[in-house]
Amino acid sequence: MDDEIISRIQTVIAHHGLSVSAFADEIGVQRSSISHLLSGRNKPSLDFVMKLVNAYPEVNLYWLLKGEGSFPESKDVKPESPKIPVPEKKVEGQSVDVPPPPVREIVPNTPHTIVLLFEDGTFQTYKGKKD
């Protein structure tokens, strides 16, 4: 599994046409860290993964970690609105359409949840405002 993550990291580097040194500088890690990671000596840390995702927003976290999704992630694809079935309500033998609850439109790039990860292994979660 770690080899797959390394392969995806190499894909990001190649996609941007960077040398390993330039990539390390771009994401803010030591060049030796990248070298050790790509050689298989070390595994990518959470800090490394978060720096990579923050430096390159087109890198989908799930694609990087699990290979799910695509790279580069397309930002022009709008999320589909969920389709809500209209329930029927019986009133004295008649069928009456009950309108579905209002659906909030999902606005791209609106934070839903923010998780702060601390060096001691603890974390703090903040939820976004609801309209």
| Structural domain includes residue 91 | no
Kindly indicate the confidence band of residue 123, based on its pLDDT and cuts at 50, 70 and 90.
confident
| Structural domain includes residue 40 | yes
The tokens for 117 are 């990860």
The average pLDDT across 66-80 equals: 67
| Structural domain includes residue 105 | no
The owner of tokens 């839903």 is: 112
Task: Considering only residues 109 and 64, tell me which one the structure prediction assigns the higher pLDDT.
Answer: 64
| Structural domain includes residue 17 | yes
Kindly indicate the confidence band of residue 78, based on its pLDDT and cuts at 50, 70 and 90.
very low
| Structural domain includes residue 62 | yes
| Structural domain includes residue 79 | no
Neighbours of 8 (CB within 10 A): 19
Residue 20 pLDDT: 92
pLDDT tens across 13-47, in order? Answer: 999 999 999 999 999 999 999 999 999 899 999 99
**pLDDT beyond 80 at 107:** no
The average pLDDT across 83-91 equals: 51
Interatomic CA distance for residues 100 and 87, integer angstroms:
7
Q: What is the pTM of this model?
A: 0.54
The number of distinct structural domains making up the chain is 1
| Structural domain includes residue 44 | yes
Range of the domain at 8: 2-66
Q: What phi, psi does 99 have (nearest 5°)?
A: -65, 145
Within 13 Å, how many C-alpha atoms sit on residue 69's CB side?
A: 16
- CATH number for 41: 1.10.260.40
